[in-house]
């Protein structure tokens, strides 16, 4: 798992051995957020070796559970807690904003078979395809 909380960490992440399309998406988001992200967003990149427990610990909440009513993915009345989710083919992008400050938790999930199957099912079920 790669956690990015400021511009320096984002710059270092661009030198890591991750998919070039993921690097492009990070650069695009950096530019859209106009530079330093420390007070605006935190990015978490989920990689194949990452467990759901590790993701929950990094975020401080479970993306498989609605943060208001506690329902979990798989419950027929489950609704996700994110603001939006996008399918970029190579990855899914989930954005969570829980308060009026507008601070965003941005989760990037690589779209590869080795990712936890429940996480891939969740993303596939709800994501909107991006052009």
Q: Is 74 exposed, middle or buried (0-12, 13-18, 19+ CB in 10 A)?
A: exposed
Helix (H, G, I), strand (E, B) or coil at 85: strand
Task: Name every residue whose Cβ is closer than 8 Å to that of residue 32 and which is 6 or more positions away in sequence.
Answer: none
List the domain boundaries for the chain.
2-129
Given this model, what pLDDT does residue 131 score? 66
Binned average pLDDT, 10 residues per bin, the chain of 131 residues: 95 94 95 84 95 96 96 96 95 94 93 95 92 66
Inter-residue contact 96 to 84 (CB < 8 Å):
no
């Amino acid at each position: 798992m790669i956690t990015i909380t400021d511009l320096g960490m984002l710059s270092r992440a661009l030198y890591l051995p991750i998919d070039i399309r993921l690097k492009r998406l990070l650069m695009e988001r950096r530019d859209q957020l106009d530079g330093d992200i420390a007070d605006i967003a935190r990015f978490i990149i989920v990689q194949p070796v990452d467990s759901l427990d590790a993701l929950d610990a990094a975020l401080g909440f479970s993306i498989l559970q609605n943060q208001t009513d506690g329902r979990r993915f798989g419950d027929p009345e489950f609704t996700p807690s994110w603001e939006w989710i996008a399918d970029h083919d190579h990855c899914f992008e989930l954005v969570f904003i829980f308060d009026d400050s507008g601070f965003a938790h941005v989760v990037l999930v690589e779209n590869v078979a080795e990712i936890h199957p429940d996480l891939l099912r969740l993303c596939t079920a709800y994501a909107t395809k991006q052009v």
